[in-house]
């Protein structure tokens, strides 16, 4: 089936996960702990972040979870913020995180658009983070649809936010490819009736993703060749 539209996950897909988020997480834990190393260690354990190695473990809920889910896990350790305030804090700080593009995005996205592809982003991050980050690197205008977990469409692995993209753009699910780095992305794509492109710029391995994807690629830069197959 031809692909007329591509719906991208953000973290681990458009941006390399570890290079973008490891440093941010270390700084956030330090800030929230307010100098209490035991508290910082407890928060790190709660989100499966290795403070010694400076990186997330593969089972961290941060990889595919929403800011709301992360805030709920961290809230018991953050006595100076209400959970709703903590959630906003995470979203606002994530919006300013240093970004590592998986490939040079402007040229890559322009190439897809030149082929007539409709593009969108659906992330379990907050919408404000997605919009700010895409705008900061100058590619927000390449997307016909940008949604986060708080945009009112639902959260992956539910198919509803993916189907919202189809409704907004007029492209049918079977002619749309969900592009992501996690099982949540692949499961959502399958439930929505979409084609599924997995990439290895997140934390999941090829062995984990392959049973749930139509193809596993090193990064999104290999998509044009796959489309031309």
CB 46 within 8 A of CB 77: yes
In sequence order, the β-bridge partners of residue 147 are 122
Question: Over the Cα atoms of the chain, what is R_g?
Answer: 17
pTM of the model: 0.89
Domain boundaries, the chain: 5-16+101-227, 18-95
CATH of span 5-16+101-227 = 3.40.50.1000
Beta strands per DSSP E along the chain: 5-8, 49-50, 55-56, 118-122, 145-147, 176-180, 195-199, 215-217
**Average pLDDT of 65-72?**
90
- Span 135-148, pLDDT tens digits: 999 999 999 999 99
- Span 103-130, pLDDT tens digits: 999 999 999 999 999 999 999 998 988 9
């Amino acid at each position: 089936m031809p692909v007329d539209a591509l719906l991208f996950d953000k973290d681990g897909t458009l941006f390399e996960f570890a290079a973008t988020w490891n440093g941010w997480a270390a700084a956030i834990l330090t800030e929230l702990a307010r100098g209490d190393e035991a508290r910082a260690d407890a928060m790190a354990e709660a989100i499966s972040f290795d403070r010694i190695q400076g990186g997330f473990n593969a089972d961290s809920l941060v990889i595919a979870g929403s800011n709301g889910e992360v805030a709920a896990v961290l809230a018991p350790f953050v006595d100076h913020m209400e959970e709703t305030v903590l959630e906003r804090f995470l979203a606002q700080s994530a919006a300013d995180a240093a970004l590592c593009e998986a490939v040079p995005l402007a040229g890559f996205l322009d190439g897809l658009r030149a082929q007539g592809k409709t593009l969108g982003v659906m992330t379990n991050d907050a919408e404000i983070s997605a919009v700010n980050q895409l705008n900061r690197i100058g590619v927000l205008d390449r997307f016909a649809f940008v949604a986060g977990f708080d945009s009112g469409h639902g959260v992956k692995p539910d198919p509803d936010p993916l189907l919202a993209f189809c409704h907004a753009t007029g492209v049918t699910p079977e002619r749309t490819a969900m592009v992501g780095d996690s099982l949540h992305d692949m499961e959502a794509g399958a439930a929505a009736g979409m084609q599924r492109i997995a990439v290895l710029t997140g934390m999941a391995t090829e062995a984990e993703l392959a049973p749930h994807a139509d193809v596993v690629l090193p990064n999104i830069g290999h998509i044009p060749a796959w489309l031309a197959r």
